[in-house]
Structure 1
Amino acid sequence: MDIPSITRLLLRLTHALAAAAWLGGGVYYVLALRPQMRQADEEARALARAAQREFGRWSSMAAFLMVGSGVVMMWDGLADGRGTIAYVVLLAVKVAAAAVAFWLAGSFVRSRRTVPLPGRKVPRQPSRFDRAWLILMLGSVAFLLGVILSSVYPTGIGQR
Structure 2
Amino acid sequence: MIELRRAVRVLLVTPDERVLLLAAEDPDADGRTRFWFPPGGGIEEGEDPRAALAREVAEETGYALPGVGVDEVWHRCHRFRWGGVRIDQRERWFLARVPSAFAIDRSGWTPGEQADLRDARWFTLAELDACPDRLVPADLAARLRELLRDGPPDEPVDVGV
**Structure with greater helix share of residues:** 1
Q: TM-score range by the shorter chain?
A: under 0.3
**1 or 2 for the larger relative contact order (CA 8 Å, sep ≥6)?**
1
TM-score, normalisation: structure 2: 0.24
